């Protein structure tokens, strides 16, 4: 999947001054660059987050220079959940990082037809590896699962070059009776 291009602009104004504008405040940082206060168009970043999630790998365009970046943090208003801030970490594809990766489950209809359902314990798995090897999400097929089966970190297909930081015997979900 090709990374989305996100345009950010350096900002001088304080973050609170952007509250009622078309921009969202943020920060860009990384090993090779000095931290910069930035602003990003709200419509563009909301569309990016909706399509790619809050842990997306994006191409960041700042001052005419394009860099690979991770959306590292999305700050939300605790009262209403609206997004109020975003952090980008500039990375190289070969950098080794630690990242929480979401888990998606497919085949839930098959479970339901057997009178079973999935009881989720955890929604992410923390892994370490090169940026280019860390998937957007882990997909678990439930169609052949039976009552009482645990889905653990060990049962995921982590892929070459990835190491689980989350304990490999940790139960992520359990197949239960309706």
Both tokens assigned to 104: 């998606």
Taking all residues of the chain, what is their mean pLDDT, rounded to a whole number? 91
Mean pLDDT of 15-25: 91
pLDDT of residue 176: 94
Which regions of the chain carry the CATH code 2.40.240.10?
A: 4-91
- pLDDT exceeds 90 at position 136: no
Query: Which pLDDT score is estimated for 1?
Result: 54
Higher per-residue confidence, 171 vs 52: 171
Q: Where in the chain is the domain with CATH 2.170.120.20?
A: 97-177
Q: How far apart are CA 164 and CA 127, in angstroms?
A: 4
Q: What is the pLDDT of residue 16?
A: 86
Alpha helices (H) along the chain? 42-52, 108-113
| Cβ pair 10, 63 in contact under 8 A | yes
Residue 125 has pLDDT above 80, yes or no: yes
Which numeric CATH code is attached to 4-91? Answer: 2.40.240.10
pTM exceeding 0.85: no
Domain 97-177: which CATH number of 2.170.120.20, 3.40.50.620, 2.130.10.10, 2.60.40.740: 2.170.120.20
Strand blocks (E) in the chain: 4-10, 23-30, 36-41, 57-62, 65-76, 83-90, 96-106, 116-120, 124-130, 138-141, 150-152, 163-164, 171-177
Whether pLDDT at 132 is above 70 = yes
pLDDT of 3 over the 60 cut: yes
């Amino acid at each position: 999947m090709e990374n989305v291009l996100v345009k950010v602009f350096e900002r001088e104004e304080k973050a609170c001054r952007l509250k009622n504008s078309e921009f969202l405040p943020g920060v860009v940082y990384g090993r090779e660059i000095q931290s910069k206060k930035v602003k990003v168009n709200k419509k563009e970043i909301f569309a990016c987050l909706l399509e790619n999630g809050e842990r997306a790998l994006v191409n960041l365009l700042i001052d005419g220079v394009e860099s690979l970046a991770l959306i590292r943090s999305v700050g939300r208003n605790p009262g209403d959940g609206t997004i109020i801030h975003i952090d980008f970490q500039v990375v190289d594809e070969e950098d080794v990082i630690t990242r929480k990766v979401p888990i998606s489950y497919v085949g839930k209809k098959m479970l339901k037809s057997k009178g079973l359902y999935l009881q989720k314990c955890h929604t992410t798995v923390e892994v370490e590896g090169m940026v280019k090897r860390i998937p957007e999400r882990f997909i678990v097929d439930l169609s052949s699962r039976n009552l009482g089966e645990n889905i653990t970190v060990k049962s995921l297909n982590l892929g070459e070059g990835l190491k689980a930081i989350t304990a490999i015997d940790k139960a992520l979900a359990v197949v239960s009776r309706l």
